[in-house]
Amino acid sequence: MSSDFKNNDPVLDHLSAYERKTLLGMIRKGISRRDFMSYMIAAGATTAASGTLFTGLSDAWANTPKRGGKIIFAGDQHGPADTLDPALYTAAIDYFRGRMFYGSLTRLTDSLGYEPELAEEVIPNENATVWTFKIRKGVEFHNGKTLTADDVIYTMNRHLGADSISKASSLVSMIDRWEKVNDYEVRAVLNSPNADLPIALG
pLDDT in tens, 36-72: 667 666 666 555 555 556 565 555 555 556 677 777 7
pLDDT value for 154: 93
pLDDT value for 144: 87
Cβ neighbour number for residue 88 with a 10 Å cutoff: 15
pLDDT value for 187: 97
The CA distance from 109 to 125, in Å, is: 23
Q: What are the residues facing 182 on neighbouring strands? A: 185
Angle, helices 47-62/33-42, rounded to nearest 10 degrees:
130
Q: Which of 64, 51, 52 is closest to 25 using CA atoms?
A: 64
- Where does CATH 3.90.76.10 sit in the chain? 104-200
Whether residue 4 contacts residue 48, with contact meaning beta carbons closer than 8 Å, is answered with: yes
Whether residue 120 contacts residue 135, with contact meaning beta carbons closer than 8 Å, is answered with: yes
Reduce the DSSP state of residue 198 to 3 states and report it.
helix
**DSSP designation for 94:** H
The pTM of this model reads 0.62
**Which positions of the chain have pLDDT values less than 50?**
1-12
pLDDT value for 73: 66
pLDDT value for 5: 38
Q: Which of 188, 186, 187 is closest to 171 using CA atoms?
A: 188
Q: Which CATH number fits the domain 104-200, given the four candidates 2.60.120.20, 3.10.20.30, 1.50.40.10, 3.90.76.10?
A: 3.90.76.10
Whether residue 108 contacts residue 93, with contact meaning beta carbons closer than 8 Å, is answered with: no
CA atoms within 13 A on the CB side of 124: 13
Identify the helix (H) or strand (E) that includes residue 22. helix 17-28
pLDDT value for 171: 80
Task: Provide the CA 81 distance to its chain's centre, in angstroms.
Answer: 25
In order of 13, 101, 115, 116, the CA distances from 108 in angstroms are 18, 17, 7, 9
pLDDT value for 64: 59
Q: Which of 87, 11, 84, 23 is closest to 49 using CA atoms?
A: 11
